[in-house]
Chain A
């Protein structure tokens, strides 16, 4: 097993400035009595995944726990700011802007295991690693993120992104860059049909398929030949977005901008050489079911309706789920809408429903909304407080209200700050009284373009 304590190579200028500023702020915190006291414990804590959720928890727990043996299982050396990928695919950002070394964020004293997890034995509290070794834990934080299931679309592979008119902002940073190039090539053609799809499963950043449509519309309008391009949006359900007001707004805006909407169709196959896509009618009950349930229904149906259509550009949104090794573990939901596909946690306490020593954070959890970095910001303090309470045998003190946020880009240069939670039919939960979530705004765009990435890094460091 290749494990080693993470040691910074040197104190660079950035760290010096940060710690200088941080020292002053820490002084303020101590003097005002706001700094939480560290809890002494010898517990073995394993954090699966070093994305937004895992890294935030690594930083928070390393500060809150004294003597804990914390392991972070994360093979990647590069941390990707995924909320920036839509801006890369829209031609606004350079891809380099979204990447930072993971070593910048991994706290000292953490056992950073640069491997993939291969399995979880929840009954015996063991994580199996890629090299066959095992990692015992007393407490487990599942922050694996999710898995992109391109293979569930016949003929589709992430390697195709950027060729044959295929784009997919989700594939990777390279995929987002190649998506930008594919859109460029389509616009350079001067005319043609573009199809934008959505997935029949919960997805991360549910606004991304809509954002890609809106930013492409901006670029088509800027080309001066908007009328020469056909744009279609194929949705697997009746809704385009969970939040009711925004859903109605987007539908109306698509209609106003000449986007043809078709509902209850999922992308089921693609023929890249012929530039043809097959869509399968999935019926009005498809929304927010797991792909597992969808496939069961699909395979049991005779003579299902299919539509095959040509395209010049297609934006593919793959079905998504928890990673395979998690799906084959006992931590996966056994019943309900997330069965077989997502982590089985209480969506308020974020504690596992059957294994109290296990908590979940981020995209992997079974919840109707919440697969955004903004959700991680809201979830991290809940997991921290509840895990520490669990360590002490106390009642879990904090509840997550489902807060999630999507800066809904409605064109290159404008956006809406959509923040909402579980309650009251996904009612708005605005953070700023001076920003109306129903308004398109330049300031919201500036936040997306300039401020949310710094805020994200503060979340990674456990500072926000």
Chain B
């Protein structure tokens, strides 16, 4: 498979979800930028609630990721199925954290931060 082949496949695969990808990136960057302008530093702010919420969002993927693919959790059967699903859950949780953590800073302010 050539590099152009891989790029062509990716282009066709991602095209239907371009709006979702763009919306997610815009949301992520907006929240991060606003928080940074108000003094947010990713390692300088702690919020247990945001951490737990991000984990919870990740875990909801157990329900909606199979559903999104016209399938169900019961059909996640092989070792590779689970590796793929856990990877997707992990990525979802990380993305949720990157939004919720600075959002929490914006909502709660610096008073709650402890470096």
Binding site for B on A (CB under 8 A): 14, 17-18, 21-22, 24-26, 28-29, 34, 92, 411-414, 434-436, 439-443, 445-446, 449-451, 453-455, 457-458, 461, 463-464
Contact = CB atoms under 8 A, between A and B. Distances in A.
Given A21-B11, A450-B13, A451-B9, A440 B2 contact: no
Contacts of B1: 464
A463 B12 CA distance: 12
Q: Is the interface of B mostly helix, strand, loop or mixed?
A: helix
B75 A457 contact: no
A337 B47 CA distance: 72
Interface of B: 1-13, 15, 66, 69-72, 75-78, 80-81, 84-85
Given A34-B2, A463-B4, A463-B5, A441 B70 contact: no
Given A442-B75, A463-B8, A28 B81 contact: no
28 contacts: A18-B8, A22-B8, A24-B7, A25-B2, A25-B6, A26-B4, A29-B3, A34-B2, A411-B75, A413-B66, A413-B69, A439-B78, A441-B78, A441-B80, A442-B77, A442-B85, A443-B81, A443-B84, A445-B71, A449-B69, A450-B13, A450-B69, A451-B13, A457-B12, A461-B8, A463-B4, A463-B8, A464-B1
B74 to A, nearest CB: 8
A321 to B, nearest CB: 32
B12 A458 contact: yes
Contacts of A443: 78, 80-81, 84
Contacts of B3: 25, 28-29
Contacts of A92: 70
A463 B1 CA distance: 8
B72 A457 contact: no
Contact of A449 (B70, B72, B76): B70
Contacts of B10: 454
Given A414-B75, A440-B75, A454 B13 contact: yes
B92 to A, nearest CB: 15
Contacts of A14: 11, 15
